[in-house]
A and B are shown apart, each in its own frame.
Chain A
Amino acid sequence: MTLSFWLPLAILLSSLIPGVLIFLLAEERHRTRTALNLLGAVTKLILVGVLIWGVFHEQVFETRWALAPGLDFVLQADALSVLFVSLSTLLWLVTTVYAIGYLENSPHRSRFFGFFSLCVTATVGLALAGNLFTFVLFYELLTLATYPLIAHKGSAEALRGARIYLGYTLVGGLLLMIGAVWLHSLIGPVDFVQGGMLAGHGQLDPGVLRWIFLLLILGLGVKAALVPLHGWLPQAMVAPAPVSALLHAVAVVKAGAFGIVRVVYDVYGVEFAAGLGVLDLLAAVAAATIVYGSFKALSQDHLKKRLAYSTVSQVSYIVLGTAILGPLATIGGLVHLVHQGVMKITLFFAAGNYAESLGIHRISEMDGVGRRMPRTTLAFTIGALGMIGIPPVAGFISKWYLGLGALQAGVGAWVVPVLVASSLLNAAYFLPILYRAWFKRPAGSWPAERPHAAGGELPGALLWPPLATAALSLLAGLFAASPFSPLEWAQLIAAREYRP
């Protein structure tokens, strides 16, 4: 019972305990709730800092707890989980601050923050899951914790969005579970092992393994919003802005993508999976999703919907990077896990700010908003440029490594055009927004302007999170080659995954 046992658990509990306490808290006790939230988030951040240091020095962290014979609840920290854990921890802190500001004076805050913490707990659990069983467990938990957040507003539209979300994700969870159980019944406990564990079981029927892979990917693809399993994502944008931010950047969508990474690298092993021929299909689906999502985004006038389709497209970069054999593509995919998160959360924060302060929900209402809310719009601009892949914002680094990886693997002939096309499409749906915001004259009055304290454009709790994440996405790109940058960490993971 040492640090190596307790640390992963402590990281999990640092959001679970505040979450539970918040549930029990009376609605009016705002200060206590805020303190609990922030305390949890900061504690987690510190613990994750310790974790990063340990994993960097190849220390082993493992919490193992038998639930049943052959079914262990395992939390472990390897380089890959650290990547995701640190992303979610950092963004949780930011989003919590934002949510506190966003939900000021709105009802049901205890419920909201309780589920919010549970959602993060599930995400962190996913990241730290050490075997497929634990992963499935947290995958389902995430579904459950997110549902009330999407339905939070309680309107018919919100309930409908939540229902659609639930329908998709429960079916996905079931498929994932069937796949996992099938695999489990073939080879026993499926631990996540760097380099994959199936290669060691040479006698398995490749046909069966392909079916299992299909099941797993279908299950994970729902959350990762792979076409044609993406239908829930645009509907889920009815959620409050902090939830959308978390949903698109950290929690749900990323959980799916992260799961695909896990399955390909640590269950099947990327070389083994390539040998099975399943990666080609995955890459094709990812490419189709990238292009399709961008095309759909073009025709959305609703800002959050456009962002949602953009997520559909962008998250598949991660999948694409995973599906291409070779360390460079791996790096590209993994680093995008972080980069997309930081950039997309910026965009959603900004969208939330527009809605919150001026009542702007549609792009056609955004004329001249840059002059009215310059700092929010600046953050939005940086996020959008990053999505397009313009250096030095972080998105460029992802695209660069994806492209290099594709060329290295000999599939550059179609991947690079996909990347280029996606960049152009991204430009085509983001730049008009920027144009409207910065260069057009305001239409006269805003849809629903709210009075704020004179001086600043918004309260600090709403203003600083997008600025912080925008700065992060800029710094992540600018200092990509520095130690402990997402890129360096992704390189570390790739080096360990491809270690002979």
Chain B
Amino acid sequence: MNDWLLLLPIFTPLLLVALAHRLSGRGWLLLAAATMGATGLLVDEGVSLDLPWLLLGTQLQLDATGRLFMIYGSLIWMLAVLFFPSSPEVGAGPGGGRHAFLLALGGNALLLMAADMLTFYLGFALMSLSAYGLVVGRSQRGRRAARIYLIFTLIGEMALFAALLLIASESGSLRFADLSGQTLPSLAVALLLLGFGIKVALPGLHFWLPPAYGTAPLYGLAVLSGPMMKAGLLGWLRFLPTGISLDPVWGQTLLLLGSLGVALGILLGLLQVQPRAVLAYSSIAKMGLISTLVGLSLSQPTLAPLLLPAVLAIALHHLLVKPMLFLGLGLWQRGVGRSWTLAGLVLLALSLAAAPLTGGGAAKVALDGVLDGRLGGLLLFSGIGTTLLMVRFFWLLRHYSSRPAGEVERGPGAGWLLLLPLAVWGPLQPGGIPLTLHGLGPLAAGLGLALSSMAIHRWCLPHLRRTDLRTFPFAGWTLRRIRLHPSAVTLPTPHWRTPAWLRWRSPKLFSRKDLATTTAPALGWLLLMLTLLGALALTRIFHTAA
């Protein structure tokens, strides 16, 4: 009977979708999300279920990785439920996003337990596509962002479809278990990198992320930045497991792209004027780091057994922290329990920046143990960068005056606070949190940089202090308005009749509004320094990789 329990987290949400129009309230959403965690906790590792009649033959299996993702992911799904408005809002799609939520949840559970490629693909598609309903916002911008998200998702789906076809026709088997020892066609690997790279937001494939994160409703944002984004990573782990023979060039490609992602995420993140956007770019950076590590393990398979647990730890940590940050930001903006929220946010930020004595720090310590010097530059850069991003985040947060706390729901704040300790100090590691100050360096360096720039700003260039409310905290002097894209300011209204959305409009790194207000900042020296640092890190990477 134990094995049939595996169906519970898949079918509960899917069945609830069918009943969704009859049910009110959020309790049943919570229930659906909880089944995933419950299954992860209750069912033994390695339990598998064969359903040869389903689809083209489906196999479900609960393995260690999937189980962890299920347990922690379920927490975020549950927390997200609390952020649903108590009654469906108009304009957020059918059922106010509830249908989409349930479908995406079912898809997430399915892909986590899938033991064959098609089932994984099914779960992935179900999750990614229904997430459209979670991403879509009520504004024009929000709809546009969701559209971009959808286009990228579809391209990703198609890449995966083609990759699956290639693998299936090459090896004849769709079981993940049969993959080890196989040689995958190069094209298939490239397509896999592309397909999951979109979800992980590798540089070049990340264009959907900033607009989507900028406009998605909180509940959607939470699951998008947490469990869903990690599904891309899981895809790589599943499709390119240790033991598969692979041209090392693909590992190096991923490594390079991941490092670029780190650099891009941090540099562009610093230029943002919305706290959300800063967090969004920080996600790109963090996923870049994870991708780099995956790439490293692919190019040097001997490292993989040590590297992957660390990757998993970082991923799980990010899975918890990033949604918590987004939700905390939301609470802050709503004006819920401001002091508590701020404190929580600081803790989360510290954890994200891998401060000692936090979950993030622990993950980093584990990583340092494996890497022993490899990728050191990148890690340093990433650490400093993340710290800077967090400082930037709080600086911007300061300017977001919250609305007067009128009738505020208590539920979301309470849930958030409840999950806070786990997010800050999680994921639970066998050895607990190491009591070491290891890793304080980047944090300190980052803080130092930030403070010094503020000092320069305040004392050396006082006449520029009042340029803009939202000036860069490290501001030196004002650049003229940055325009990265000439057409950025004129947004054509969406015109569905002709397939306007097929016409390629290069996605913008900044939304229009952001650009318009980015009058102030840019400090050549800081950018220059960071770029130098990045270059340094890259050379180190290649040094070590070679």
Contacts and interface: CB of A to CB of B under 8 A. Distances in A.
A483 B53 CA distance: 8
A299 B497 CA distance: 7
Interface string A379-414: 000000000011110000101100110011000100
Interface in A70-117: none
Given A298-B502, A408-B169, A481-B56, A363 B161 contact: no
Contacts of B90: 441
Interface stretch (A168-176, A228-236, A250-258, A416-424): A416-424
B322 interface: no
B55 A390 contact: no
A416 B158 CA distance: 10
A333 interface: no
A384 to B, nearest CB: 12
A391 B501 contact: no
Interface in B149-200: 150, 154-155, 157-158, 161-162, 165-166, 168-169
Given A481-B54, A481-B56, A429 B499 contact: yes
Interface string B77-101: 0000000000000110110000000
Contacts of B157: 390
B165 A397 contact: no
Interface in B493-530: 496-499, 501-502
B121 interface: yes
B94 A481 contact: no
B169 A423 contact: no
A428 interface: yes
A397 B158 CA distance: 14
Contacts of A364: 496-497
Contact of A371 (B94, B133, B136): B94
Residue picked from A301, A389, A435, A479, most chain B C-beta under 10 Å? A435
Nearest to B122: A391
Given A301-B497, A478-B54, A480-B56, A374 B150 contact: no
A431 interface: yes
Contact of B93 (A407, A412, A438, A478): A438
B125 A391 contact: yes
B55 A439 contact: no
A400 B169 contact: no
Contact of B154 (A427, A438, A477): A427
The dominant DSSP class at the A interface is: helix
A436 B499 contact: no
B56 A441 contact: no
A298 B501 CA distance: 11
B118 interface: yes
Interface string A458-500: 0000000000000000000111111100010000000000000
Contacts of A482: 53
A423 B158 contact: yes
A439 B136 contact: yes
Contacts of B53: 479, 481-483
B485 interface: no
A432 interface: yes
A18 interface: no
A370 interface: yes
B46 interface: no
A363 B136 contact: no
A407 B166 contact: yes
B55 A392 contact: yes
B481 interface: no
Contact of B169 (A298, A404, A424, A477): A404
B143 interface: yes
Contacts of A370: 94
Interface string B425-446: 0000000000000000000000
A431 B150 contact: yes
Given A371-B94, A374-B21, A404-B169, A420 B55 contact: no
A485 B256 CA distance: 47
Contacts of B57: 481
A40 B165 CA distance: 43
Residue picked from A392, A404, A424, A428, most chain B C-beta under 10 Å? A392
Contacts of B136: 439
Contact of B56 (A397, A420, A427, A438): A397
A301 B495 CA distance: 12
A69 B129 CA distance: 60
B150 A403 contact: no
Contacts of A399: 161
A242 B507 CA distance: 43
Given A428-B502, A429-B499, A439-B93, A416 B165 contact: yes
Interface string A347-384: 00000000000000001100000110010000000000
B52 interface: yes
Contacts of B168: 404
Contacts of B147: 435
Contacts of B155: 424
A294 to B, nearest CB: 10
A420 B162 CA distance: 8
Interface string B53-77: 1111100000000000000000000
Contacts of B93: 438-439
A391 B118 contact: yes
Contacts of B122: 391-392
Given A299-B499, A301-B497, A432-B501, A412 B169 contact: yes
Nearest to A385: B129
A404 B501 contact: no
A69 to B, nearest CB: 49
A423 B125 CA distance: 14
Given A364-B496, A407-B165, A424-B154, A479 B54 contact: yes
A403 B56 contact: no
A435 B136 CA distance: 10
A478 B58 CA distance: 10
A407 B501 contact: no
A301 B496 CA distance: 9
B55 A480 contact: yes
A363 B91 contact: no
A363 B54 contact: no
Interface in A296-319: 298-299, 301
B288 to A, nearest CB: 27
Contacts of A412: 165-166, 169
B104 to A, nearest CB: 14
A400 B163 CA distance: 11
Contact of A481 (B52, B162, B165, B166): B52
Given A371-B94, A391-B55, A424-B155, A432 B496 contact: yes
A306 to B, nearest CB: 11
B499 A428 contact: yes
B496 A436 contact: yes
Nearest to B161: A420
Contacts of B166: 407, 412
Contacts of B499: 298-299, 428-429, 432
A381 B8 CA distance: 25
A312 to B, nearest CB: 17
Interface in A258-300: 298-299
B56 A400 contact: yes
Contact of A428 (B55, B129, B497, B501): B501
Q: Nearest 7 CB-CB pairs, A to B?
A: A407-B169, A482-B53, A403-B165, A391-B122, A298-B499, A420-B158, A432-B496
Interface of B: 21, 52-57, 90-91, 93-94, 118, 121-122, 125-126, 129, 133, 136, 143, 147, 150, 154-155, 157-158, 161-162, 165-166, 168-169, 496-499, 501-502
Given A403-B165, A408-B169, A431-B150, 13 more contacts: A364-B496, A374-B21, A390-B125, A391-B118, A391-B122, A392-B55, A397-B56, A404-B165, A407-B165, A438-B93, A480-B56, A481-B52, A481-B53
14 contacts: A301-B497, A364-B497, A391-B121, A407-B166, A412-B169, A423-B161, A427-B154, A435-B147, A439-B136, A441-B90, A479-B54, A480-B56, A481-B54, A481-B55
